[in-house]
Structure 1
Amino acid sequence: MPITVTLTEGIVPSQNQAKVVKEITDAFLVHHGLGGNKVMTPNVTAQLHLQPKHETFSAGEPIAGAWIEIKSPSFALADRAVQKNFFEDVTNIVYKYAEGKLPKKHIWTNSIHTVDGTWNMDGMAMTNEELTEAIAKG
């Protein structure tokens, strides 16, 4: 499940950036009941992007912000309680590590569901059913 964390440069100190990624990754696993799952844990990947303020916008104007996007199969982040609790945790994680430099209203999140059968894990494109079977082994 790729997680993309995009931050305006300077809002999260460099020593805290990896902590943001780690805690968001852990929260995703925990909210799906997969904490410690040997199959899923290494397959929740992340990319951290740092952008200069003149390249991050709200309403077409430069702004300091954070954007977190999760790409997952359709069965992940499908439950409303999981959505609310996970994205609340994500917001609080970024807010905490921004150390007062970023209001919560400047932390945006979203999720994109992939087409069934296109999820690649261990070099194989898997359907939701195949992925669920693999996860159950972990």
Structure 2
Amino acid sequence: MPLTLTLTEGVLPVGSENTAVERITEAMLKWHGLTGNKVMTPNITAMVHIQPKGTTFSGGKPFAGAWVEWKTPSFAFADREVQKGFFQEATDIIYELSGGKQPRDNIYVNVVHTPDGAWNLDGKAMTNEEMGQAISQG
């Protein structure tokens, strides 16, 4: 389940991106009750994109932002309490790592769901039920 962390240059101190990815990954696993799961943990991947100042916008005007985006099967983040808790924690992580400088209202968290059956582990397309069975083995 890939995490894409996109940041305007300067939102986080250089070098803290690794800490952000680690903490956001841990939070995702925690909120889904999967901390330590041997199937899910290695299948959470991440990409960090640092955008130069002047290339990120709000309302058509340049600004500094942070975006936390997950691509997941549709059963992930389906519970409202998981959504609220994780989104708050992810926002807090970025805010804290910015030294309190990044405004919370310029930290965005979202989830993109794939259709059932359009996910894979080990190169095999799996339904939500198959994914659940695989995860339960971990």
Under a length normalisation based on structure 2, what TM-score does the superposition of the two structures give?
0.98
Q: Give distance in 2, aligned partners of 1:15 and 1:71.
A: 24
The structure where helix makes up a greater share of residues is 1
Residue 72 of structure 1: aligned partner:
72
Matching of residue 32 in structure 1 with residue 38 in structure 2 = no
Q: Give distance in 2, aligned partners of 1:15 and 1:57.
A: 24
Residue 59 of structure 1: aligned partner:
59
Structure 1: state its 5+ residue gaps.
none
Residue 14 of structure 1: aligned partner:
14
Residue 129 of structure 2: aligned partner:
129
Q: Given residue 41 of structure 1, which amino acid in structure 2 is its aligned partner?
A: T
Q: Given residue 67 of structure 1, which amino acid in structure 2 is its aligned partner?
A: W
Structure 2: state its 5+ residue gaps.
none
RMSD of equivalent CA atoms: 0.7
Structure 1 stretches (4+) deviating beyond 3 angstroms?
none
What is the SS of the residue equivalent to 2:71? strand
Q: Give distance in 1, aligned partners of 2:6 and 2:55.
A: 11
Residues 31-64 of structure 1 show CA distances to partners (whole Å, capped at 9, x for unaligned) of 0000000000000111100001211110011000
Residue 84 of structure 2: aligned partner:
84
Residue 43 of structure 2: aligned partner:
43
Q: How many residues align?
A: 138
Q: Give distance in 2, aligned partners of 1:55 and 1:101.
A: 19
Displacement of 1:21 in angstroms is 0.5
Q: Give distance in 2, aligned partners of 1:100 and 1:33.
A: 29
